[in-house]
Structure formats: C-alpha cells, structure tokens
Amino acid sequence: QIVTNAGDAELQGMDFNLAFQATEGLSLGISGAYYDTEFVSIKGASENPTVNGSLGKPIGNVPKFTGTAGISSDFNLTSSIPGFIRLDYSHKGRANVAPVGSLKKPWSYPEQSAVMQMLDLSSGLELNQWSIGFFVDNLLNERENSSPDPIPSLATHPKPRTVGISIGISFD
C-alpha cells in the first residue's frame, strides 16, 4: 500500500490570545482561531470519482472557528492555605469530515462534525508541600461526534463527564 498526500491546499486564517489580570487574584483569558481552507489541486481527481469535485472545497476535519475562555480566581482559605478555582469554556465549530458533496452513497453518516462546547471546572488548595484539588471535566457531558466516521464505533467522542480529586506533593 502506498500512502501519499491528496494534493495541495491553501489555508488562511488568524488566531488570537488575550489574557487580563483583572485584580490581584482574578485572571481572565480568551483565545480563538478562524481558518479558511481549500483544496487547490487533487492528485488523480480525474481518475477517481470519489475525490472529483473536491477542488475548491474545505479540507476535512479543520473547523472554521475554535475558541476558549477562562476565568481563574486565587484566594486564601486561611493565611497559610492558598487556593484557586478555575472555569474554562471551549468551542469547536463544525468541521467537514470530507469535502462536502464528495462522498458518494452508500455512505450514511454526516459530512460534518458536530459543534463541540465543553466546560471544565477545577479548584484546589495548597497545604505546605501538599496540594489537593477537585475537578469536573466536560461538566455539560457533551457527547456528540467530534469527527463522524462511517463505522459508528470508530467515531470520535469527547470523554464523558469526569469528576475527580487530585493529590500532589512537592519535593522542593
């Protein structure tokens, strides 16, 4: 089996990252990216009806927009026990799984991934060299296909809501 690149593509876009220290113990952050992608040449397109028609279409599995936002607060539970609490939100826009209109039947799965919106929460305390934390990943329990596949068991999903405790020690 020989594996090669599909052809040539162009990608234009921008990304940004802003961080702001609102007060001594409060931090805010936001980041995002926008991408415009396109196949400009396809190897063997004239011989392969599956990829014929992909020229000028977006690259698969690249969302047009992604973004994150977070807020973090540092505090002192007591004069000797510092702590923090953090909330993070992330958004991943739809991505074409293959160039729209390029998949020929009998494919029976969506040509685009679902929009993903994730929310994570964490908090923690430091006790001398010890740290203890609590976290909830995927607080909203988002379970949509993040990249559909013709075989449902191979479709990518985010991990389910996960609640946990972390314990650490520093050997400074």
Tokens (6 digits) for 7: 């052809």
146: which strand partners? none
SS (H, E, C) 82-123: EEEEEEEEEEECCCECCCCCCCCCCCCCCCECCCEEEEEEEE
* Whole-angstrom distance, CA of residue 116 vs CA of residue 121: 17
pLDDT number for residue 150: 56
pLDDT number for residue 100: 47
Nearest residue to 89 via CA among 132, 28, 39: 28
Q: Tens digits of per-residue pLDDT, 86-107?
A: 999 999 998 877 654 555 544 4
* Whole-angstrom distance, CA of residue 85 vs CA of residue 75: 8
pTM of the predicted model, to two decimals?
A: 0.78
**What is the pLDDT tens value at each position of the chain, 172 positions in all?**
666 666 788 999 999 999 999 999 999 999 999 999 888 887 766 655 555 567 777 887 888 999 999 999 999 999 999 999 999 999 999 887 765 455 554 445 566 778 889 999 999 999 999 999 999 999 999 887 776 565 666 677 888 999 999 999 999 8
Query: Which amino acid belongs to residue 41?
Result: S
Q: Do 59 and 36 contact (CB within 8 A), yes or no? A: no
* Whole-angstrom distance, CA of residue 145 vs CA of residue 135: 24
pLDDT number for residue 167: 97
Nearest residue to 7 via CA among 45, 35, 36: 45
pLDDT number for residue 84: 97
Burial of 58 (0-12, 13-18, 19+ CB in 10 A): buried
Tokens (6 digits) for 129: 């060299």
Report residue 145 CA to chain centroid gap.
12
